[in-house]
């Protein structure tokens, strides 16, 4: 088994190689002066199983192309099977034509991957209108969840927790995490006016005064969804506010803006590698790769 990455998940790929006792072999990936991709494998792949570990952030479009080029090349070089571990899978939020003429990006992304990899494993993909990855993937597609990793963190580090899902979609994560922690949970009703403007209100209020609030969502991008929830928690008398996203994208100064609006701590998993990625998903992936 050979493990590689197209650059976004280097630490995770190396950790998986160690835990699976597999060989980590970096790709040579650069671009020609005109921007065309240059890609080269530096190991023999004939008859081997190749695992490409690549989060689709940053640069979702480039990541998708890099993965397709790498997978196609691996097959030309005789790889027996190409498995994509995409800890964060981008494009999933555009899952319908919201306005006439729009691209349903998730379908295009899936079509490209269906044609080039043999299997995909991902963590907490944004399944909202799709109920299953099977609706867009024809290859075997495994959805894993970081809920247990988040629950373990809350159990060990948060003294008096209540969990808030900042919108209805996030309740699927918030509810499971709260159950594992054994603490109260509620979710907010969010209205999104644009990709940057959201408002929310608490539908089923729970006691928050003096509590350590943990806001759980799958993706934190601009942080605006978290900010709305944090404002409600602060107003209701929360003692501290921790924001946990499975996937910490953090664009447009999301972290300082969340902190300015009352968030005490911001954390995410290492599906996207950054300073705040304190929650490790490598054991979950190892377990899945060992299973089949
Ligand atoms: C969308 O429904 C997702 O679950 C997140 O709530 C959303 O992507 C967060 O985006 P932002 O941080 O920009 O508000």
pLDDT 10s digits, 105-147: 999 999 999 999 999 999 999 998 999 999 999 999 999 999 9
- Counting from 1 in the atom list of ligand 1, the atom nearest the Cα of 170 is 4
Would 221 be classed as within a structural domain?
yes
265, part of any domain: yes
User: Do the domain assignments include residue 32?
Assistant: yes
Percent of the chain at pLDDT exceeding 90: 92
CB distance 225 to ligand 1 below 6 Å: yes
Q: Are strands 185-192 and 198-202 parallel, antiparallel or unpaired?
A: antiparallel
- Residues 20-37 have a mean pLDDT of 97
**Rounded to the nearest whole angstrom, what is the distance from the C-alpha of residue 75 to the centroid of ligand 1?**
36
CA of 217 to the centre of ligand 1 (A): 8
Which bin fits 216, alpha (ψ -120 to 50), beta or left (φ > 0)?
beta
Q: With 0-12 CB in 10 A as exposed, 13-18 as middle and 19+ as buried, what is 247?
A: buried
Considering the domain boundaries, does residue 275 fall inside one? no
Same-domain pairing of 24 and 154: no
Contact 45, 82 (CB under 8 A): no
Nearest ligand 1 atom to the CA of 167 is 6
Contacts of 34 (CB under 8 A, 6+ apart): none
Residues 140, 94, single domain; the answer is yes
Q: How far is Cα 248 from Cα 104, in angstroms, rounded to an integer?
A: 23
Distance from residue 200's CA to the centre of ligand 1 (Å): 12
What's the per-residue H, E or C state across 40-75?
Answer: ECCCCCCCCEEEEECCCCCCHHHHHHHHHHHHHHHH
User: Which domain range does residue 184 map to?
Assistant: 147-270
Looking up residue 89, the CATH number of its domain turns out to be: 3.40.50.2020
> Which atom of ligand 1 is the closest one to the Cα of 198?
14
CA nearest neighbour of 249 among 229, 274, 230, 231: 274
Q: Are residues 19 and 128 in the same domain?
A: yes
Same domain, 118 and 24: yes
- What's the maximum distance between 2 C-alpha atoms anywhere in the chain? 61
* Ligand 1 pocket check for 217: Cβ under 6 Å: yes
- Is 217:245 a contact under the CB 8 Å cutoff? yes
- Residue 173 belongs to some domain of the structure: yes
Residue 67, domain member (yes or no) = yes
| pLDDT at 248 (0 to 100) | 98
Instruction: Note whether 152 and 228 are same-domain residues.
Output: yes
Task: Give yes or no: residues 256 and 140 share one domain.
Answer: no
Same domain, 140 and 152: no
Report the catalytic residues.
Answer: 190
Quote the pTM value: 0.94
Same domain, residue pair 141 and 202: no
Across residues 244-258, what is the average pLDDT?
A: 97
Cis before 58 (ω within 30): yes
Please give the Cα distance from 119 to 289 (Å, whole number).
11
Q: pLDDT category, 169, cuts 50, 70, 90?
A: confident
Instruction: Examine the domain organization and report whether 169 and 208 are in the same domain.
Output: yes
Q: Which among 67, 64, 146 has a CA at the least distance from the CA of 107?
A: 64
Q: Are residues 140 and 284 in the same domain?
A: yes
Which amino acid residue places its CA nearest to atom 3 of ligand 1? Answer: 219
As for how many domains the chain has, the answer is 2
- Do 67 and 118 belong to one domain? yes
Percent helix / strand / coil, the chain, rounded to 5: 35, 25, 40
pLDDT band for position 198 (50/70/90)? confident
Distance 266 CA to ligand 1 centre (A): 15
Q: Is 17 helix (H, G, I), strand (E, B) or coil?
A: helix
DSSP class of residue 273? -
Is 284 inside a domain boundary?
yes
Ligand 1 centroid–CA 248 distance in Å is: 10
Taking the C-alpha atoms of 233, 156, 57 and 285 in order, what is their torsion angle to the nearest 10 degrees? -140
pLDDT for 194 = 79
Q: Is residue 118 lining ligand 1, measured as CB closer than 6 Å? A: no
- Three-class DSSP category at 155: helix
Between CA 194 and CA 101 the distance in angstroms is: 17
Task: Say whether both 137 and 164 belong to one domain.
Answer: no
Task: For ligand 1, say whether the CB of 242 is within 6 Å of any of its atoms.
Answer: no
Q: Is the pLDDT of residue 200 over 90?
A: no
């Amino acid at each position: 088994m050979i493990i590689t990455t197209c650059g976004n998940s280097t630490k995770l790929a190396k950790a998986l190689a160690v835990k699976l006792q597999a060989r980590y072999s970096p790709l040579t990936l650069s671009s020609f002066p005109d921007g065309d991709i240059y890609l080269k494998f530096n190991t023999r792949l004939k008859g081997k199983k190749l695992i490409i570990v690549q989060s689709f952030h940053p640069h979702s479009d480039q990541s998708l192309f890099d993965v397709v080029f790498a997978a196609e090349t691996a097959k030309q070089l005789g790889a027996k099977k190409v498995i994509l571990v995409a800890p964060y899978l981008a494009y999933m939020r555009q899952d319908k034509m919201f306005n006439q003429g729009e691209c349903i990006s998730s379908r295009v992304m899936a079509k490209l991957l269906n044609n080039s990899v043999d299997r995909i494993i991902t963590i907490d993909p944004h399944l909202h209108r799709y109920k299953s990855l099977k609706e867009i993937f024809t290859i075997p597609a495994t959805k894993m969840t970081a809920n247990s990793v988040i629950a373990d963190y809350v159990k060990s580090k948060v003294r008096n927790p209540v969990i808030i899902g900042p919108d209805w979609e996030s309740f699927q994560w918030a509810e499971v995490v709260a159950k594992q922690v054994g603490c109260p949970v509620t979710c907010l009703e969010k209205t999104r006016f644009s990709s940057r403007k959201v408002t929310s209100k608490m539908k089923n209020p729970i006691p928050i005064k003096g509590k350590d609030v943990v806001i759980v969502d799958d993706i934190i991008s601009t942080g605006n969804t978290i900010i709305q929830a944090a404002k409600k928690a602060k107003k209701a008398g929360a003692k501290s506010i921790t924001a946990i996203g499975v996937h910490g994208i953090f664009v447009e100064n999301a972290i300082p803006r969340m902190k300015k609006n009352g968030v005490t701590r911001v954390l995410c998993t290492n599906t996207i590698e950054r300073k705040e990625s304190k929650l490790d998903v490598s054991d979950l992936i190892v377990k899945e790769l060992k299973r089949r």
